[in-house]
Amino acid sequence: MAISNIRYGQGVTKEIGMDLQNLGARKVCLMTDKNLSQLPPVNAVLNSLAKYGINFQMYDNVRVEPTDQSFLDAIQFAKKGEFDAYVAVGGGSVMDTCKAANLYASSPTSDFLDYVNAPIGKGKPVTVPLKPLIAVPTTAGTGSETTGVAIFDFKELKVKTGIASRAIKPTLGIIDPLHTLSMPERIVANSGFDVLCHALESYTALPYNMRSPCPSNPINRPAYQGSNPISDVWALHALRIVAKYLKRAIRSPEDHEARAKMHLASAFAGIGFGNAGVHLCHGMSYPISGLVKTYKPKDYNVDHSLVPHGLSVVLTSPAVFAFTAQIHPERHLEAAEILGADIRTARIKDAGFILADTLRKFLFDLNVDDGLAAVGYSKADIPALVKGTLPQERVTKLSPRPQTEEDLSALFEASMKLY
Amino acid sequence: MAISNIRYGQGVTKEIGMDLQNLGARKVCLMTDKNLSQLPPVNAVLNSLAKYGINFQMYDNVRVEPTDQSFLDAIQFAKKGEFDAYVAVGGGSVMDTCKAANLYASSPTSDFLDYVNAPIGKGKPVTVPLKPLIAVPTTAGTGSETTGVAIFDFKELKVKTGIASRAIKPTLGIIDPLHTLSMPERIVANSGFDVLCHALESYTALPYNMRSPCPSNPINRPAYQGSNPISDVWALHALRIVAKYLKRAIRSPEDHEARAKMHLASAFAGIGFGNAGVHLCHGMSYPISGLVKTYKPKDYNVDHSLVPHGLSVVLTSPAVFAFTAQIHPERHLEAAEILGADIRTARIKDAGFILADTLRKFLFDLNVDDGLAAVGYSKADIPALVKGTLPQERVTKLSPRPQTEEDLSALFEASMKLY
């Protein structure tokens, strides 16, 4: 298992100019989005670049919930710039866009579909050397600073997919909890739900020694290897932090401790799922985001409809874990206990229901929209949601319990209303 | 913080030939020691090298508890061989020797003292590129497969010291629990004590944000950064495994589960202390090993006197933690609880005594020699032991509580007899 380099501490962003000097960077691409470009995290980076005399160009056109088109725009910028290092300042959208820009600028003759996950793209292994990328997360959710995954919305197919390769993993993640103080409430909540599901899904994913096919040459193994004794440590630790700090981080912007803990939990869960993988909540979330109609969430300053990633993931979680629990009920029960359930008299066969109820209560307490219906879906959309889930094999096959189209249909239906 | 690549699983050693092919290795140096060269772990590697047609030369002359002379012998072999990859199969002695051989063969004009820790050596930063090194640990203690540290006994000064640089960290650690089945009882015990102290020392080390000097350029920061939220996760997890499985692993060679868990705990604790550092138990252990007189431990098939590393570390642990507890008493109490103490009515000011008593009981249950007196030392040796500790600043300055020569003297005296 490969783990990422991270640096943690209040204010460590100010060292980024030195890091770039140490890397010998002479022309840096700084990527962010329009909202962030006015906010303290980008300012901290700009100040450090100025202090150490780093030559750079800024691209602030990253789309929140990126698409193939927005990836291509960033790739175009990167190709033109001939950069020798990249800095991504933002949430998962920015970091993922920057990973893609670095990849395709380093492999300029490749077709865009070459590296996109099969069966949508060709899923070719990355063999070209990439430039160093320093990721500075500003949310506490994606863990993208620790993973080799870049997700985007494939507009033509109306489905989210991505690129997954250890080669695109950032060289360094700078975890500076000061940055999370800029986050509005719903962004804290939705990105926190992503951490919650990363932890729950990676802890309950198919074990690493039961995954198939298991390529005999280690170099051909996927980034997502199934749950294993090392990812378990990260997943459980992240889950304990979520249980203790997420509500505080959402409710009190001034609770620096809670926001700092969630920022670290995001990286911890990222290291866990970046090696173990995620499964049904994530697999089903991609069409939920991809097929969005008119839903516009509070606190997101964007000009297009969107179901934020963390929300699209968590809305199916009660149904998903009720479905998967029959395979590792003891792990589901352990997760419920960490999230606050009293399991002293619980029966192991009820593990799925207990975890589902615990999650419903957790979400209700945090004023989460009441299921898929509340973000604009009805029963009539279920066939399209199922169809959008089917190509997400990379993750859905890591579900501990295999699922038919009927199963997926039932899971979407059970997620229409939560409370 | 940098973390290592590890692969875990029963039998994964058989893939090592493929790993070397994937690295494009054309001439491999296989290092081990004379005992191991006849045992299953080396056989498993040899079979894989043969299967994948890997060209290699074997060096089986590693000294258990290596010296500057034994390092130089291995370095000589490595320089002559012009290898493009290294494989180390063994405990800490083999892995550390192989790291040194790789380093000096890659930097052939360097003087041996150039990279040795200051103040004994010059402590120069490593700037040359090294060859890939795959480490296959056969004990469950050192965690050397995950660290950038190589320790040896400097005969002239009668003191242990080492080389510490991220650059010498193995490219990959192969954690194959099958190998631990070859270990005799006392090797399981003593290497397990090393895990115990790695976990306890890194968890109680000076916090990362209180260490000084704190070089402003991140590239100049030492490998040992002080305790931090990430190393804490590894330290506590390793400590829980030690508490649950070490006694079983020692007492029952057939307890595959316990031996596998300890093998993983060794790597976990290694990742923790490899970033956080260790402090007084390790700092004081180097003269305890270096000044050995005639002690020959059971189960070690060697022709020279030695105090095994893990034993030399653990014998001072009750005195050390009684001394350090006044700084982070709550962490010392938490460690005592994990090791089995009932702390429900404990007073925080007694944390040091409680952890010390818990450790004494733990060691007594495992028939550990009764203190430094039992391995050949008397009060008359204390000045020499103190003198040998003073140059170990790299670790002793990570003690949460600063210590005078008188303090060190008192700690050695308190460690003469444990029970």
Residue A419 in domain: no
Percent of chain B residues past pLDDT 90, beyond the cut: 83
Domain limit, last residue, from A129, A158, A179: A179
Give the Cα separation of A173 and A147 in Å (integer). 10
Residue B1 in domain: no
The answer to whether B393 contacts chain A (CB < 8 Å) is no
Q: What is the DSSP letter of B132?
A: P
Over range B373-395, report the average pLDDT. 95
Closest residue in B to A228 (Cα) is B8
The answer to whether B326 contacts chain A (CB < 8 Å) is no
Residue A1 in domain: no
The answer to whether A264 contacts chain B (CB < 8 Å) is yes
Domain limit, last residue, from A162, A179, A196: A179
The answer to whether B56 contacts chain A (CB < 8 Å) is no
Q: Do B188 and B61 reside in the same domain of the chain?
A: no
Closest residue in A to B17 (Cα) is A217
- Residues in chain B with CB shorter than 8 Å from the CB of A15 are 216-218
Give the Cα separation of B56 and B30 in Å (integer). 7
- The shares of helix, strand and coil residues in chain A, as percent rounded to the nearest 5, are 55, 10, 35
Q: Do B225 and B124 reside in the same domain of the chain?
A: no
Residue B279 in domain: yes
The answer to whether A145 contacts chain B (CB < 8 Å) is no
Q: Do A254 and A374 reside in the same domain of the chain?
A: yes
pLDDT for the residue numbered A383? 98
Q: Cβ B18–A216 below 8 Å, yes or no? A: yes
pLDDT for the residue numbered A135? 97
Residues 265-304 in A contacting B (C-alpha not used; CB under 8 Å): 268
The length of chain A in residues reads 419
Give the Cα separation of B364 and B397 in Å (integer). 30
Mutate to test the interface with B, among A172, A219, A271 (most CBs of B within 10 A): A219
Residue B419 in domain: no
* Residue A377 neighbours by CB under 8 Å, 6+ apart: A288, A291, A293, A385, A412, A416
Domain limit, last residue, from B134, B155, B179: B179
pLDDT for the residue numbered A4? 60
CATH number at residue A149: 3.40.50.1970
Which residues, given as ranges, of chain A have pLDDT below 70?
1-4
- Using DSSP, state whether B406 is helix, strand or coil: helix
Contact B303, B276 (CB under 8 A): no
The answer to whether B8 contacts chain A (CB < 8 Å) is yes
- Residues in chain A with CB shorter than 8 Å from the CB of B22 are 217-219
Q: Do A194 and A318 reside in the same domain of the chain?
A: yes
- Nearest Cβ partner for A228 among B1, B8, B19: B8
pLDDT for the residue numbered B4? 60
Q: Do A171 and A249 reside in the same domain of the chain?
A: no
By residue range, what is the domain housing residue B141?
Answer: 6-179
Q: Do B16 and B137 reside in the same domain of the chain?
A: yes
Half-sphere CA count of A14, side-chain side, radius 13 A: 6
The answer to whether B5 contacts chain A (CB < 8 Å) is yes
Q: Cβ B218–A2 below 8 Å, yes or no? A: no
Q: Do A155 and A245 reside in the same domain of the chain?
A: no
Q: Cβ B7–A1 below 8 Å, yes or no? A: yes
Q: Which amino acid is at B297?
A: P
Kind and range of the H or E element at B357?
A: helix B351-365
pLDDT for the residue numbered A289? 92
Kind and range of the H or E element at A163?
A: strand A159-164
Nearest to A83 by CA among A68, A94, A98: A98
B210 pLDDT more than 70: yes
Contact A31, A88 (CB under 8 A): yes
Q: Cβ A7–B216 below 8 Å, yes or no? A: no
B216 pLDDT more than 90: no
- Nearest Cβ partner for A19 among B6, B218, B229: B218
Residue B389 in domain: yes
Q: Do A190 and A158 reside in the same domain of the chain?
A: no
Contact B370, B417 (CB under 8 A): yes
- Residues in chain B with CB shorter than 8 Å from the CB of A5 are 1-3
pLDDT for the residue numbered B214? 78
Closest residue in A to B2 (Cα) is A5
Give the Cα separation of B151 and B148 in Å (integer). 10
- Residues in chain A with CB shorter than 8 Å from the CB of B268 are 230, 233
The B28-31 sheet, strands edge to edge:
B6-8, B172-175, B133-137, B85-90, B28-31, B56-59
Going by DSSP bridges, is the β-strand pair B149-154/B159-164 parallel, antiparallel, or unpaired? antiparallel
Tally of structural domains, chain A: 2
Q: Which amino acid is at B263?
A: H
Q: Cβ B3–A4 below 8 Å, yes or no? A: yes
Q: Cβ B237–A234 below 8 Å, yes or no? A: no
- Residues in chain B with CB shorter than 8 Å from the CB of A234 are 233
The answer to whether B6 contacts chain A (CB < 8 Å) is yes
Q: Cβ B219–A4 below 8 Å, yes or no? A: no
Residues 202-261 in B contacting A (C-alpha not used; CB under 8 Å): 208-209, 216-219, 228-230, 233-234, 237
Q: Where are the alpha helices (DSSP H) in B252-316?
A: 256-276, 280-290, 309-314
Q: Do A49 and A168 reside in the same domain of the chain?
A: yes
Give the Cα separation of A226 and A373 in Å (integer). 32
Residue A252 in domain: yes
Give the Cα separation of A296 and A298 in Å (integer). 7
Q: Do B100 and B238 reside in the same domain of the chain?
A: no
Over range B379-390, report the average pLDDT. 96
B312-371 pLDDT per residue, tens? 999 999 999 999 999 999 999 999 999 999 999 999 999 999 999 999 999 999 999 999
Q: Cβ B4–A3 below 8 Å, yes or no? A: yes
First to last CA, chain A: 39
CATH number at residue B255: 1.20.1090.10
Supply the mean pLDDT for chain B: 94
Give the Cα separation of A48 and A32 in Å (integer). 16
Q: Cβ B8–A217 below 8 Å, yes or no? A: no
Q: Do A189 and A337 reside in the same domain of the chain?
A: yes
Residue B170 in domain: yes
Q: Do B146 and B254 reside in the same domain of the chain?
A: no
